Each structure stands twice: as structure tokens, then as C-alpha cells.
Structure 1
Amino acid sequence: YSSTTDGKTYTYLSDGLIWDEYKFDPNIKSSLPLLGPVRTKKGTIAARQPHIPKRTAPWWRAQCKFRGLSQQGRIEVLQERIRATDNGMIKELATAEQELNAEFRKQNAATRDEEWNHMETDEEKAEADPGRFLQEKFPSITAIVVKTNSRIESDGTLPSIDHWIVIGRDRLSVNKKVLKINHESIRARQRAQEASEERSRKKH
């Protein structure tokens, strides 16, 4: 999509139209200055007042442009113009943005499918898209464990050569599988410790 006005062009970047480097803000009320301080139920001025982000004049002009409003005037004038007449993005731009979003999602899905089809191992697919991997590979299983060769670092610990990814259809299924793995791991360490102690006693 391309439309040039005032020497500037609307462009599209993955999830919305851009004009003069700025995107449309549907929640613009949170950027408008308060008409008065927020008060408590008793009528006193509240200790905590909303944070109003500071916006530049070009940003306010872009918001007016998206709304089909005049871009003339100081920041205060632009703000009051939007406060009084904000009806959202004009229909022509809203329609164009919806169509571009749909086309982007379609192309993005095609790209992901192509990358998916080029993956050779279950481990690659499990890391790239756990939900899709579980649905395609094990449609009737609630949770599985996949061993990978990725390296993980956390809080100064040494990277581990192997780690496990737990994939499930919901949080409960994953938590149950994780608990089972933890219990089995603890029991395995206990057995190893007992075997080591037994060998040590036999030596003496």
C-alpha cells in the first residue's frame, strides 16, 4: 500500500500503517493531558496521578492525519482537536490496514510452513513451534518430553549439553509431566548415591 500526501507516504510494516515514521495510536486518550487532577471519592486530589507520556509535535500531527483532521497548529491545538473529534482512523486507511494485515499474515504463514518443512529433526520442530509439533506428531497425547542438544545458561551455571523440553496441551499437563520427571530424577540420584556408598563400604 502506498499513498502520498503532503510530500509524505503511508507505508506498512508488519502490523500497521505508518505515516511520517509514526503508527496510529488507538488509545490516544492516555496521551492527552488531563483537564484537571484526578480526585478521590472524597473530592481531594489523589496522591497518585496518571503518567502522561510526552509526545512530539510530529507524533501529534501523524495522529491527526490518521483521523482525517487538520495538522495545523501547536501541540495544544492538535490535542484539543483530537479530544473533541476523535472518531478513530478514517475508513479508507482502516480498510487498507486490515487488508494489508491479512496479506502479511498469509505470507508469514507460508514462510513459516516452508521453514517447518525444511526442518529435519523432531528436536528442531519442538523448539521452533512446540504446539504445532505436538499436534502433528502426537495428536492424542497430552504431554511429551523431547531431548535436545541446545545449550542453556542461567544465573552463572555452566551450559548443559543436554536438556529436556516438556510440551503439553495445557499448563496442567505440562506441570504433571515436569513433576514426574523431577521425582524420577531425584530417585535416580538417590539410587546412584546409595550404590556409591555401598561400593565404598565394600572397599573398607
Structure 2
Amino acid sequence: MDFYEDLHPTIRHISVRHPDGSCRCNGTALEFNAHLFSQHIEQYLPPTGPVLTKRGQIAKRQPPKPKAQPHTWWKAQCSFRSLNPKGTVAELQARLRGHEKDPISKGNLELLERAKKEIKIKRDEATEIKWLHNMSAEEKMRTNPGRYLKEAFPSGDTGTGVLVIKCWHMSTIAPLAEDIGLECETVEAPINRDHFMPISEDLWVVVGQNKAIVAEKVRSISREAQRIKKEIRHEEEEQRRDEEAIEKKKQQDLKKALAKSKDWDATGSWKINCPYIEENWSREHWDEEELSLQIYQERTAKGAQMFAKFNFGVTTGVFRFERQRDDTKAKIAKPDTHANKKKRKRYDSEDEDNHEDNSSEEDGIDGEDDEERERSPTPEAFYFGSITQPSAKHQIWNYRWRGEETGEGVIELYSDKRLFKMKFFGPKVEKLEGTFGGDMFEDCTFTGVKVGVGGKVDIDISEEWSERNEGAYESARVGRWH
């Protein structure tokens, strides 16, 4: 329901008696057969003859035909000017020639003034009926807040009632209340437990005749608001403790699984040495004093994952290790959600023409097998089955990486098309060797020594991975040039 209907329900026009027939008033103007008065009818009149040249010949270029108007429109323009509205269109047009600029006739203007008064009376009557019988308190406050307050608190009444107004600001209510001698205060609104947000506005306005009663109502609402807040904080704290307990159990389960399988624990902090990077780039261009790698293990519904975040001086990002080829107990992937399909769209398109790696070009790790280098580029390879950690049998692991250079933060686009290798030395897993490469530098080898064990997973690998995509690259590129 719009504001006009709130003020003047159902009455848009009234009929007006007129000798020419169908006439009505909309409150501001007369209408004949629903047509309004036009001051420029000459543009619709057909020409009386063709346009001639100076020599009296018919000109080649004639003005376009005027836009046609219905018969009732021509009748209406005659009625507005008090001309006879009967006849054909041609007769009406001929009758209007010479009267194109005539205003509305005096008789019609007098009729309009009487009609305006009549429609105002009818609208006022309809509005009053609606106010008394068909409007809620909220609608009354929206339509006429001053009148609503006066009727709610009649002059001379010493009642103890109060109104809690939820959709108005104090700056609007206070002047209206003061004019009729009412007290009013604001109070913070209670939170709606269903939506965890204020029920209406952040502040409510409490209005009444007795200051003490208004103040007590404000205190009551405030206590309720604080009680709900306290309950929500308590529930949030319980939820946080539950989440911490779940996370703790996950870590315990992971440790038990690792201990049971007698795998080597590669998780933790690693200090990295890469002669190629350290010799070709000055340390003043690096974010950190030393090259570093942090390896994580995580259990998911689709299987375990091993991944890492790295800082190799000139470039930073994340690694994702692929499962072993003989991991026959790896879980079969469940159907993807729509969101995951979008994230993995590029992988699917690369499945046929990017089934390759760079390890055949590298001699940094001994004992690599050519057949093992053929790895699936699909994301499913990132989920493990029964083989979740390096071991004496599985020292070498394939990985892919995504990241960006540390200068202007340019994303190394498509770096994850290539496979690289990492070899762990155990059983305490205190040393590793690996291959690495990208568009901005040559393929190289690196070594690492372990400087810290385990630790809570503090990155969302799916998010870190997906945020380094073509869209992010393009957005950053545009940002650098604008």
C-alpha cells in the first residue's frame, strides 16, 4: 500500500455532471472520456493543403503526417473549449481550427473548482472511516503520528499507560510528544533471537504521561535486551568450546592415525635453502630473512590432505601434495557441489592436454621413476586414502603450487599446471629435498631442515588455492594500472 492510498483510500476520481457527457475530476484537473486538456492541438491537426514552393508548385518535401488521435480525444478538446463536441473527426478538427491556443473555458474552470472541493470532502470522509475502523496502530503512526499520540493520550487523562514506538526516531517523536505534554525516552531495542538482529530499529521510543512510569518501562526493556545479549554470549561461548573440543579431537585422531600407521611426521616448520634464489636475488627484496616452509596435515570428509605455505624470498604461496599412485584405498570422490564445480572448472578443462610434469627435466632427487611422474591434474589427487604421510616406502611426493611474487604481488598464473617433487628423509623427518620452478625464474632445487614440529592448521587451503586464480590475477592487474 503506497502513501497516497493511506491518505485517500479508494477515491481517485469523482464524476462531474456536464452537458457534454462523460466528465470526471481527479482532484487537480477535469477529464473528458479520460482525456486531459491539451494546449498544443495544432501539432495534431492535419495540414489544409500541400506545402508549395515560391513559384506555387507542390514542394517535393512535405511535412510528416501528424500523430493520429482517437475520436474521443478530439471531442474532449472541443468540450474543454466549450465548442460543440459532436461530429466526425474531420468536423471536430475543422471546428478547432482558430481555437488551438484557447484556454479551458471559464465555465469549465468554475466546474473544476467545485469538483475539487467535493472530492476533498469525499476523501476526508473516506480517510476518517479508514482511520477509525481499518487502520492498525503502526499505520496510524505512519500516516499521522501527531493525531495518533493525541488520541492515545487524551488531554486531561491521567492514565498510566505507555506506548513503545519501534519504527521512529527520537528526533521525530520528541517534538510531537512535547506539544501535548507527554514524556518520552529512547531505549536500546532487544535482539530478535530468530535473526540475531534488532527487531526494528536499534533504538525504540517510549512515550507516556507519567515520567516515572516511562522510566520504569525503559528499564524493563533495557533489562530484557541485556538478558538476551547475555544468553547469546553464553551460547556463543558454548559453541566456541564445542568447536575447540571438536578440533582437539580431530588433532588427537590424526596423531593416533599417524602413530598407528608408523608414518613419518612431516608436519611442522622448515628452514629452506635454495642456492639459485639466494645467489640471484638480494635479500633486501625479501619479506623474511630466511626462506621457510610450513607443512600441515588435515582430515576431511573426502580423505586426508597434506599441504604447505611457503616463503621462498622472491615468491610466496601454497603447496598441495598429491596422493601416492599405489594408494589403492583412496576414497572415491563424491559428486561435486555446484560451488566446487565452479572452483575446479579449469582443472576439468586441462585434464586432457595438461597431463604432464617437469620432473623429467630435473635431477635434484635421486631414484625418481618416470612412470610416477605421470600424475592426474584433477583436484581429487589432493585427497589421500590410507597413505597419508611420508614413510620409508613413500619418501617422494608430488606437489603443485600456486603463489605470487613478493614485489608487486603478481600472481604466478598457471603455476599449478606443472608437477614438482619433494623427498623426505626419516624416520624423524628432519631433512627434505625438492624441486621448484616458475615463469619468473629457472627450475631449481632446494633443501630443508626441520626447525619446529606439528602445530594447528591456521590456513584454509581451499580458500588459499581458489583465491589465486585467473579472476584474482586480472583484478590485481587492472588495479595496478588504475
Give the TM-score, by structure 1 length. 0.50
Determine which structure has the larger strand proportion and give its number. 2
Give the TM-score, by structure 2 length. 0.24
Determine which structure has the larger helix proportion and give its number. 1
